[in-house]
Structure 1
Amino acid sequence: MSAYISNLHLSHFRSHRGLRLSFDGRPVAIYGPNGAGKTNILEAISMLSPGRGLRRAPSEDLIRRPEVIGWRVAATLQIDDTVHEIITRAEPSSPRQVEIDEKSAPQLALARLLRMVWLVPSQDRLWIEGAEGRRRFLDRITLSFFPDHGEAVLAYEKSMRDRNRLLKDQVRDAGWYAALERQMMSAAEQICANRSAALTRIAAAQEEAETSFPIADLALEEGEGFTAPTDLVTLWSDTRSRDMAAGRTLVGPHRTDLGAIYRVKDAPARQCSTGEQKALLVSLILANARALKQDTGRAPLVLLDEVAAHLDADRRAALFDEICALNAQAFLTGTGAELFMEFGARAQEVPLGVEAAN
């Protein structure tokens, strides 16, 4: 079973006024000078999944300047013998819209149709920066396994925002808090269960594979006072005074961190070298893709921005071999064709020049 994008059309998206590309299901090596719009293509593809894409940019920022007439990404998705037409777009000052087979659909419907994983240069500092980035990384992995995870996160965040508003306004009516905390609890149970299950799948996929990339032992670090979802209703009740002083909810799955240990060295990822940290990230993305293929029968789309430049020739060859073994449609970017020589005829090349982005 396979799933791949066969046609992609960008209109007024970032640097691309209009761009049409056709693909045959092989990995795609996109190369060209800086400013040619390589990452913009990957970002457009990432908009075929729920959320704000691989750069987490607001829809307004995706509009090509100076026209400012709205952007559009259209793709033909081939899933075995079935073809789906996907369109996502946004007009200035308007929310993003999604159509699947000429019918309006919520963004979360994209996750049920197409699984996607990605790695971008901004994630290179994942292990040494704040917990928020690692939490987003964790939830992106979790969403790839559980398409309804996004709905649970949105429901939890909405109830928490309402609770935080009460806290800031110094409301002391316990009944208002109890109702919101029950709603938060329902979503928190699902969030915690999904995250735990996702990490279990990643761990299994790392153990089952022979790979040139290192294994990372992952763990959820829940934070002060939070040991399990069943503790939360009582915990939120007990900590209302402290939360009121802070003006926000201080414990819960919104404070979860992702811990990683480089197994060979038994060292936290944050203490590893830059190269080791990059290799750990690549390992996790590959494990995510392998686990999804085991679970669904189809490899996800894999987006890897500028990853080849940060790997030596042996690691690049190993990465390309693993992508091909997965039978995954991967989109990789780099500044020159030489970065993808190890692919040979196994990959489709898309050279871009500065003029191609105009």
Structure 2
Amino acid sequence: MPSSRVETLRLGDFRNYPSLDLTFDSGFVVFFGDNGAGKTNLLEALSLLSPGRGIRRATYGEMARQGGSGGFLVRAAVASTDGATRVESRLSPPGAVPASRNVRIDETAVKTADELLEICRVLWLTPAMDGLFTGPGGDRRRFLDRMVLAVDPAHGRRASDYERAMRSRNRLLSEDRMDDGWLSGLEAQMAELGVAMALARAELVRMLAAKIDAAAGASPFPLARLELASGYESADLAGAALDTEEEVRLALRRSRALDRASGRTREGAHRADLAVFFAAKAMPAALASTGEQKALLIGLVLAHAQLVAQVSGFRPILLLDEVAAHLDPGRRGALFDLVASLGVQAFMTGTDAQLFEALGGRANMIPIGATD
């Protein structure tokens, strides 16, 4: 099975880096150094090889170096069995044309960032995700949608179109004179897109659960059990999609008055949530210890990496921020061995190079020094 690997990374005015050029020739790359040195900034740059705003969900303006031009450059050479592809994300300085981030693949501007998914799939695990099981449902929904996007590239466009239609419907409902024709059209669009999103999420959860079950007894990390709340309490997603869309459309029409009173659309794909359970203890992940939650999350991300490879046909790139510090030496070594068995390229960060001793000579060890 082919794998995508980043061979070079060039930065210009990105975060704390005026300029930087790095070359990688290993399946493991470790950035190590003091806190604040810029290790996570490198992972953020790599995360721009995928659609969206990266691992921090920052605005593009926030990624530009303070005191710099106001823009930034992230350029990478991504190798696969078909050869190397140059991928570039650039934010032009204020006043320049274009005034927003633009993406190029081999010097050709892409129509949408979703085209990046034809080059590689990038998955990540960061300390900010440690509260995933105890935090708000919106965080789990974004996590779920990124998992879906990695196996179904059309999901991102469906989600953005659904959000746009919902905002338009909410705005129309707030007006004194509601236009029935416009509302009906928006509700039909929301029904079609929302049901497609719900079905894609359900299929991802089904496939991921099967992948997790297949690893029972073989994984060094605890197994998760997954349950999906679709956001459609009254709709039957098991029926024919067209029938479900009509059911959802009629429900939206009937709920206009209540939605107008509440100032929001109360039911739909935007209300979905992912429930995760600690399978061995038959308990919600939110009630597990901090260490157990971290181990569950690692296992979930690795199972997803296996699924992405199976469905997409090529192995993803993993970004693992500060993951080694939270594991004991035995589980740390097991993590490295499991990542190696997946055949993926993994970029990891840590404050101490000794955390990665179990990698032996398998990694590019790159010290990151403190910068101004």
Structure 1 position 299 matched with structure 2 position 315: yes
- Structure 1 residues 312, 160: CA separation in 2 closer, same or farther (over 3 Å shift)? same
Q: 2:248 is matched with which residue? A: 232
Partner Cα distance (1:171, 1:131) in 2: 33
Q: 2:132 aligns with which of 119, 126, 130?
A: 126
CA contact (8 A) 1:192 1:253 kept: yes
1:207 matched to 2:223? The reply is no
**For 1:266-305, what per-residue CA distance to the aligned partner results, in whole angstroms no more than 9, with x for missing partners?**
0001111111111111011100111112223322000010
Q: Structure 1 stretch 227-236 or stretch 99-108: which is displaced more?
A: 227-236
Query: After the TM superposition, which of the residue ranges 76-85 and 98-107 deviates more from structure 2?
Result: 76-85
Show the counterpart of 1:104: 109
Contact 1:70–1:90, Cα closer than 8 Å, also in 2? yes
- Asked whether the 8 Å contact 2:8–2:21 carries over to 1, the reply is yes
Mark the runs of 5 or more structure 2 residues left unpaired by the alignment: 238-243
1:276 aligned residue = 292
Is the Cα–Cα contact under 8 Å of residues 124 and 278 in structure 1 kept in the other structure? yes
- How far the C-alpha of 1:147 sits from its partner, in A, is 0.8
Aligned mate of 2:264, from 243, 248, 254: 248
Matched, 1:83 2:91: no
Question: 1:5, 1:25 within 8 Å by CA — same for their partners in 2?
Answer: no
Give me the TM-score of the superposition, normalised by structure 2: 0.93
Aligned residue pairs, count: 356
Q: SS of the counterpart of 1:213?
A: coil
* Cα displacement (A) at 1:180: 0.4
Q: Which moved more, 1:214-223 or 1:269-278?
A: 214-223
Following superposition, the deviation at residue 92 of structure 1 comes to: 4.0
Which string of whole-angstrom CA distances, capped at 9 and with x for unpartnered residues, describes residues 209-250 of structure 1?
221111111111134734445131121111111100012111
Q: Distance in 2 between matches of 1:341 and 1:45?
A: 24
Q: Cα deviations across residues 164-204 of structure 1 (Å, max 9, x unaligned)?
A: 11112244333221110111111112211211111122112
Is contact 2:39–2:349 with CA below 8 Å preserved after alignment? yes
Aligned to 1:7: 8
Deviations 1:114-155 (A, max 9, x none): 111101101100111110100000001000000111010011
Higher mean displacement: 219-228 or 199-208: 219-228
Counterpart in the other structure of 2:157: 151
Cα RMSD (Å): 1.4
Distance in 2, Cα, partners of 1:305 & 1:101: 29
Alignment of 1:191 onto 2:207: no
Q: Is the 8 A contact 1:324 1:346 kept in 2?
A: no
Match for residue 261 of structure 1?
Answer: 277
1:7-26 matched pairs, under 5 angstroms: 7-26=8-27
Instruction: Supply the distance in 2 between the matched residues of 1:95 and 1:196 (Cα, whole angstroms).
Output: 34
Percent identity over the alignment is 42
User: TM-score, normalised to structure 1's length?
Assistant: 0.96
- Distance in 1 of aligned mates of 2:341 and 2:232: 42
Distance 2:69 2:235 in 1: 49
Deviates more, 1:282-291 or 1:189-198: 189-198
The answer to whether residue 181 in structure 2 is matched with residue 175 in structure 1 is: yes
Distance 1:186 1:37, change over 3 A: same
8 Å Cα contact 2:231-2:270 kept in structure 1: no
